[in-house]
């Protein structure tokens, strides 16, 4: 009965505050309503929401009519923070607070929070009153923890969105891997997947940061097993892995699994030989990767067609990642990309095998900013009718074809990958990755989100669209199946 009376008292207090706000602004509101013309079936709108937020913030700051005190303590009790609050507001915003307040025995609630959460608790409470807050990158995780703990869904979603939009932000020690680890622990799938994709598509940046050697073995393996990693070369990845192993000194099984995820066949034989003679890590775990090194040397000494007769060349050892080296593709900067069709040519090595080191393939590329399928184009049946010089509407498209055909292509299919760059937080990052055989039409959503007509678009830098094209040869296994 006492609890119910307390809730009723809090409700009456809150109602009184709202009525006071409404009375203070009634003159302006009535003038607006009386001077307005008929607004149609929906009528006119009178909004004092901003005034209400200001009054609620003042209520929190001044503590007027407070019926509950929040005592926030850290585990070591070295920091104590007391906030005067109102039970009705807390209950309306958080089902967890509502349950706690229903079972309380006094006006003082003792809340035990970690030091990082305690430091932003006042921001968290302010959000419950005002529906907004300001924050720094280092405050995102503790605020997300509080929103999750107290089931404030709107704030939880807002912080997740803030974090996904600030992955590219530069910080002294890096933050994306830390956010990934937190999201994995908190079960935030959206944040976890966004962080993992960002790291995979901008891996060179992570490898060069101080954050790399601090990542967990679980995140390390998640990255090493991906074929969509974007980096300069497989050698860059091995060097970074070696640094991670030296810094963390993992158990033997973890080190072996990580080293076996390296695609040694994608490393030229000369560099591979130097690794075996100079790498202390490879020397220590030589027996664990001996079979992979042996197959890699075989891969480099025989033709891929011959290799395909005896080995499964579809296994990850022989599948390239997205390497930015000139051997694998070319950057392409398209100035004023909405203007007209553009074309370019570039060369790649036929394949990663040293057997094909001197063989080159020339690729022709056509970019169309407003391409329409033939079925969607206007028909002109009248003889002599003038055809339009430019098709209106349409969507961007890229076609990549070899300049010539060759018998060397036997047993090989070429996957084309277009990396679309964007500028975020003053940093150029990979925003989208499109894989196809010949045309981006196969994807259906190429640059669908990119506003190439707006000069301030994140996809345009100095009025240019920045792309990088990667050609990956994929071999077909020719092993005969025995009955």
Burial of 125 (0-12, 13-18, 19+ CB in 10 A): buried
Q: Report pLDDT digits (tens) over 155-203.
A: 999 999 999 999 999 887 889 999 999 999 999 999 999 999 999 999 9
pLDDT value for 302? 84
Give the global pTM.
0.83
β-strand partners of 54: none
- Report the chain's C-alpha Rg in angstroms: 31
Q: Report pLDDT digits (tens) over 89-98.
A: 999 999 999 9
Q: Which of 20-34, 117-131, 183-197 has the lowest mean pLDDT?
A: 20-34
Q: Report pLDDT digits (tens) over 192-219.
A: 999 999 999 999 999 999 999 999 999 9
Q: Report pLDDT digits (tens) over 340-356.
A: 899 999 999 988 888 88
Domains of the chain: 50-163 (3.30.710.10), 322-371+394-475 (2.60.210)
Contacts of 18 (CB under 8 A, 6+ apart): 52, 55
Residue 382 confidence class, pLDDT cut points 50, 70, 90:
low
Q: pLDDT > 70: what percent of the chain?
A: 85
**CA-closest candidate to residue 277, choices 255, 265, 293:** 293
Q: pLDDT > 90: what percent of the chain?
A: 59
CB atoms within 10 A of CB 474: 15
Write the DSSP assignment of 311-355 as a string of letters.
S-TTSGGG---EE-STTTEEEEEEESTTSS-EEEEEEEES-SSGG
pLDDT value for 393? 60
């Amino acid at each position: 009965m006492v609890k119910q009376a307390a809730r009723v008292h809090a409700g009456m207090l809150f109602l009184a505050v709202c009525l006071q706000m409404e009375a203070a602004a009634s003159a302006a509101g009535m003038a607006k309503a009386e001077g307005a013309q008929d607004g149609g079936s929906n009528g006119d709108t009178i909004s004092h929401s901003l005034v209400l937020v200001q009054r609620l913030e003042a209520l929190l700051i001044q503590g007027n009519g407070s019926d509950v005190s929040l005592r926030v303590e850290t585990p070591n009790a070295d920091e104590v923070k007391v906030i005067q609050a109102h039970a009705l507001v807390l209950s309306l915003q958080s089902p967890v607070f509502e349950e706690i307040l229903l079972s309380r025995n006094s006006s003082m609630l003792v809340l035990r929070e970690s030091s990082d959460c305690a430091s932003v608790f006042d921001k968290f409470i302010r959000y419950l009153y005002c529906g907004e807050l300001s924050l720094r990158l280092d405050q995102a995780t503790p605020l997300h923890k509080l929103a999750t703990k107290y089931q404030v869904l709107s704030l939880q979603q807002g912080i997740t969105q803030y974090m996904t939009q600030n992955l590219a932000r530069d910080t002294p020690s890096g933050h994306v891997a830390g956010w990934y680890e937190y999201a994995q622990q908190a079960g935030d799938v959206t944040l976890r997947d966004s962080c993992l994709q960002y790291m995979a598509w901008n891996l060179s940046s992570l490898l060069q940061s101080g954050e790399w050697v601090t990542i967990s073995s679980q995140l390390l393996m998640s990255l090493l097993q991906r074929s969509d990693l974007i980096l300069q070369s497989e050698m860059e990845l091995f060097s970074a892995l070696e640094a991670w192993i030296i810094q963390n000194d993992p158990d033997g099984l973890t080190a072996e699994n990580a080293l076996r995820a390296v695609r040694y066949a994608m490393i030229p034989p000369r560099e591979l030989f130097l690794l075996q003679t100079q790498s202390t890590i490879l020397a220590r775990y030589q027996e664990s990767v001996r079979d992979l090194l042996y197959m890699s040397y075989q891969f480099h000494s025989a033709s891929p067609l011959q290799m395909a007769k005896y080995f499964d060349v579809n296994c990850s050892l022989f599948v390239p990642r997205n390497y930015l080296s000139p051997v694998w593709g070319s950057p392409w900067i398209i100035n004023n990309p909405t203007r007209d069709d553009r074309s370019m040519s570039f060369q790649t090595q036929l394949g990663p095998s040293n057997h094909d080191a001197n063989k080159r393939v020339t690729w022709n590329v056509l970019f169309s900013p407003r391409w329409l399928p033939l079925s969607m184009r206007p028909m002109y049946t009248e003889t002599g009718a003038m055809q339009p010089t430019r098709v209106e509407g349409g969507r961007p498209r890229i076609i990549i074809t070899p300049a010539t055909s060759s018998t060397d292509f036997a047993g090989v299919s070429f996957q084309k990958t277009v990396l679309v760059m964007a500028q975020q937080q003053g940093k150029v990052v990979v925003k989208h990755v499109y894989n196809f055989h010949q045309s981006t039409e196969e994807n259906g959503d190429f640059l669908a989100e990119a506003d190439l007509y707006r000069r301030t678009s994140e996809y345009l830098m100095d009025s240019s669209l920045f792309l990088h094209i990667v050609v990956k040869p994929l071999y077909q296994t020719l092993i005969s199946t025995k009955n």
